[in-house]
Amino acid sequence: MSAPEERSARFDEVALIRGASAGFTVLLFGELLAPLASQINGSLGLFWLSMVGAAGFVTAGSRIGTATSPWLQGAVAALLAMLLTVPLRLLVGVDSAAGWYRIGVSAAFSIIVGALAGRGAGLARRRSSST
C-alpha cells in the first residue's frame, strides 16, 4: 500500500465533512436558542452553552465512517465543527483577549470530546462487526 492510500484510509473524508456539518448545525441552533434557555430558567441558561457544545462535538465526533483511526477522525471533525462557528463569533465581536481565550478553550474542549466520541463510535463499530 502506498503512502497516499494509507493516509486516505486513516480518514474517511466524506464522514469527516458530514460530521463537521452535523456538529456545526447542533452548535448553531444551540447558540441561537441560548437566550431562550436563559429566559426559561436561569440555571439552565448558565449551563446551556456547555451542554450544547458537548452535544455538538459528540455529534461531529461520532461520525467516523470507515476511518482506521476513529479517535483522530472524531477529534478533527469536532474541531472543524467548532472552527465553522468562529466567523459567526467574529461577526458578534470577539475583540477582547477573553473572547479569544474562550475560542481557544472551545477548541481544546472540541478536540477532547470529539476524540472520546470517535473512540466510542470506533468501539461500537468493532463490537457490531465482531458479532
For 41-60, write each residue's pLDDT tens digit: 888 888 998 999 999 999 99
CA 128 from chain center: how many Å? 24
Taking the complete model, does pTM exceed 0.75, yes or no?
A: yes
For residue 24, what is its C-alpha cell?
Answer: 456545526
Q: State percent of the chain over pLDDT 90.
A: 57
Q: Give the integer Cα–Cα distance in Å for 49 and 58.
A: 14
Q: How far apart (Å, rounded) are the C-alpha atoms in residues 30 and 5?
A: 38
Give the integer Cα–Cα distance in Å for 73 and 119: 9
Q: How far apart are CA 64 and CA 14, in angstroms?
A: 9
